[in-house]
Structure 1
């Protein structure tokens, strides 16, 4: 059971460890800033429940799910010659029902909604991008709300007026933090797509077979 789900479980463990590390390091940094401002430290538990921790967490999550959403949708229509991250060059588009094994072409192990026509098939055919896009939007909203609260707290510590959510999402502070994360995600995707054309990792599903030519597209090892 553990072996069959090893990829998911290991990365969830990495997530947990990094969350704990972020919380501990972030709490120490926050308390140092509190002391420098002549205020009392808040401690780990209070920090984890604060808007400062929430905005950093949501900021990372929304950029990651934006990356997934855009990559899932883009790879329907766009290709990269030689990359295992791309479909074959002649596979652009949504593909036929027979190729996608839906409706009357569905096999015995197919999900129930893949067997049906109408709205169920339409939704299920786009369920991955819908979920990824939905999580991105929720995380983006959470980031903006928590960011507005954290920014307002800083303003009040400096004896300045707090801001509303609408004011905050129009500020350079918000978009600087947001776009800073987005560009790193876009760079990571472009790098993975292009590097995998020429470089190999033996046995990885994200790499072509070691002996495959550089122009072989849509094949993994």
Structure 2
């Protein structure tokens, strides 16, 4: 058990933080939502009703889709684009998906390689792009959930103000939808770009996301090995 906790410490740490943050968001959102209902002369709702509501769904999905879009684009961009000196990038000259030998696939795989990396054909192609596929799929599903939840919320607000309901297509091209969406996207892109740039010149001793402290600025972590 102790070894399993050590070997999976990073994943478990962030999973625990995620669960705590989601629980905190649900509790804070529950009290905020009921406060707004009471301000409008409407009855409060139960916690279970709130966490299954469109209000809660849209807030959660809105953040998820921007995070997974960030990683989807970063994974895709780092195939072909480089940043000299950043540990978040391959070294200049290594752009592209690499050859079979570099990737240890097909005839170049060893017995410990994942099965789909060894068998070749479409399975190796799918497995070779599986991280990008999964990140993209989660982004699209989260984006869809956000748009559907946001549509329900907007139509509820329209009903309260005596205006007509709108369709899903009307909502996803509305300023309200893109205002909420782009607020999240721009912060994610800034965070990734800052990490790439700052890691050229700044260090954190002992972190896998940083070059060794004494490595020159223009040298990537891979070049220093």
Query: Is the TM-score greater than 0.5?
Result: yes
Is the contact between residue 212 and residue 221 of structure 2 (CA under 8 Å) also seen in structure 1? no
Q: Check whether the contact 1:89–1:217 (CA below 8 A) recurs between aligned residues.
A: no
Q: 1:83, 1:197 within 8 Å by CA — same for their partners in 2?
A: yes
Per-residue CA distance 1:148-168 (angstroms, 9 max, x = gap): 001111111222222221111
How many residue pairs align between the two structures? 221
TM-score by length of 2: 0.95
Q: TM-score, normalised by structure 1?
A: 0.97
CA distance in 1, matches of 2:14, 2:121: 36
Aligned: 1:199 with 2:199:
no
Where structure 1 has 5 or more consecutive residues not aligned to the other structure, the ranges are none
Question: RMSD in angstroms over aligned alpha carbons?
Answer: 1.2
Segments of structure 2 that go 5 or more residues without pairing to the other structure are none
In the other structure, the counterpart of 2:128 is 125
Answer whether contact 1:168 1:174 (CA < 8 A) is retained: yes
Which residue of 153, 156, 178 maps to 1:175?
Answer: 178
- Alignment counterpart, residue 26 of structure 2, candidates 23, 26, 29: 23
Give runs of aligned pairs for residues 56-135 of structure 1, distance below 5 A.
56-135=59-138
CA positional deviation for 1:218: 4.0
**1:142 and 2:137 are equivalent in the alignment:** no
Misfit runs of 4+, over 6 Å = none
Deviations 1:61-109 (A, max 9, x none): 0000000100001000000011000001121101111111111110121
Contact 1:196 1:207 in 2 (8 A): yes
Render the CA deviation track for 1:22-42: whole Å, top value 9, x for unaligned. 001111111111111111111
